[in-house]
Structure 1
């Protein structure tokens, strides 16, 4: 059994009855992750593919979640050994792989995220190993507890989904409707013609293999729809996106009103 402080809190939740709700994090401030933990969210994903987050930011977000039941995932910028290894060495509970096209892409990510004999991840005395103080304890559980999640966000990935779902160690996939739509020729649409149907096909195929599926919700109504469809891991939004979602209608309402000037 892994030590409690090394176990990934998301893995058992994905196998339970309740859906796992999370937040996409793009802001540097670790307060975002600290608040997510206080609110009782199940996971956050730190987005290193887009925006300005670097490894120092990732470390601070991870520290903000320490001692909570919040899983911290990192969307790495590319499927490379350095990006995956460094995110996991800092203590991330898992990585999301961008632009997966084939089972070979996913297998490469698995190799980079696993120690031998399953993979080729190197050993370093970093934060995940408590700076080397718990090396053996971490090594004993890391291959099982650290998740490697492919983003199914390209048409090629959907076309190759059967072989992708056969990759050893795959527990969860995460779908990206906007990029999938773009790859199908519908740039700027969330779910272009036929994409919604493709997403449900992938969801159904993954479910038959006991693989959980994740997706972002556009709003509260979409959240309910995604949960009813069977998604186990649903993002409520991004930090910046949710600020915008809250502020825009408030500003719009204020813009149509006039107020009496007062000095008291």
Structure 2
């Protein structure tokens, strides 16, 4: 039995545009159901949700029902958190709040076995099909995809240095945190923020890396795609649930 190929990474490095969905519900049922809809990737967030590390593996198992690749955001750029998520079978990580090239190098090192990195070795993990693969340790470093998240003006100022770090496959922009950093808390649509996002996409592409971003509406996703973003989450599962439920409530209670 061979270790699985990271199709998200191979497609991203081939220049494909990958459409995703941001997952916050921490529900295996939601993960399985939404994996079947045709999205290229689902992102499971452990930074801004109640989801803890132990809850990640059931989500990965549930999402395996569909064709969507899975991405996991650890709560922090921490080698222990990263190691545990990788052992559960995650192949693509979105590492939050990377401010410097040194922090980007630390994120990459945490995903690599020695001598390329510092990832701890365990044999009976889901990542290695519980020890049944014959090539996991040989290919694991190559198959892991590292996406680093830039969320502040200070990080934007060092974008090219961060993107140049070997092992960084993509650079992800967080519009809400960037807006707060630029003095526009709660206003990711502010002209200054949007200008910074457009410029960041150009700079990331010029550095030879794939830019990614979170959108909360289709119109925003289309704009970001037009600017050159290659992996775009076009919505958040909980927001979609709330909007659908609110729309239904309004339709049912509307006066005839």
Q: 1:74 aligns with which of 69, 72, 75?
A: 72
CA distance in 1, matches of 2:63, 2:135: 20
**Alignment deviations for residues 163-210 of structure 1 (CA, whole Å, 9 cap, x no partner):** 101101111111111100101111111133422111122111111232
- Counterpart position of 2:22: 24
CA distance in 1, matches of 2:87, 2:192: 40
CA distance in 1, matches of 2:192, 2:86: 36
Aligned residues: 255
* 3-state SS, counterpart of residue 63 of structure 1: helix
> Is the 1:95–1:148 contact (alpha carbons within 8 Å) kept by the matching residues of 2?
yes
CA drift at 1:120: 0.5
* 3-state SS, counterpart of residue 194 of structure 2: helix
- Counterpart position of 1:109: 107
CA distance in 2, matches of 1:245, 1:67: 26
- Counterpart position of 2:12: 14
* 3-state SS, counterpart of residue 61 of structure 1: helix
Matches of residues 88-103 of structure 1 in structure 2 within 5 Å?
Answer: 88-103=86-101
CA distance in 2, matches of 1:13, 1:35: 23
* 3-state SS, counterpart of residue 50 of structure 1: coil
- Counterpart position of 1:128: 127
- Counterpart position of 2:55: 57
CA drift at 1:224: 1.7
> Is the 2:188–2:194 contact (alpha carbons within 8 Å) kept by the matching residues of 1?
no
CA distance in 2, matches of 1:57, 1:169: 27
TM-score by length of 2: 0.92
Q: 1:140 aligns with which of 138, 141, 151?
A: 138
* 3-state SS, counterpart of residue 250 of structure 2: helix
Range with greater deviation from structure 2 (48-57 or 170-179): 48-57
* 3-state SS, counterpart of residue 121 of structure 1: coil
**Structure with greater Cα Rg:** 1
> Is the 1:6–1:141 contact (alpha carbons within 8 Å) kept by the matching residues of 2?
no
| Runs of 4 or more consecutive aligned structure 1 residues displaced over 6 Å after TM superposition | none
* Structure 1 unaligned blocks of 5 or more: 259-264
* Structure 2 unaligned blocks of 5 or more: none
> Is the 2:53–2:81 contact (alpha carbons within 8 Å) kept by the matching residues of 1?
no
CA drift at 1:153: 1.2
Q: 2:165 aligns with which of 147, 167, 182?
A: 167
* 3-state SS, counterpart of residue 50 of structure 2: coil
* 3-state SS, counterpart of residue 171 of structure 1: strand
* 3-state SS, counterpart of residue 135 of structure 2: helix
TM-score by length of 1: 0.90
Range with greater deviation from structure 2 (11-20 or 216-225): 11-20
CA drift at 1:55: 2.5
* 3-state SS, counterpart of residue 149 of structure 1: strand
> Is the 1:71–1:93 contact (alpha carbons within 8 Å) kept by the matching residues of 2?
no
> Is the 2:21–2:41 contact (alpha carbons within 8 Å) kept by the matching residues of 1?
yes
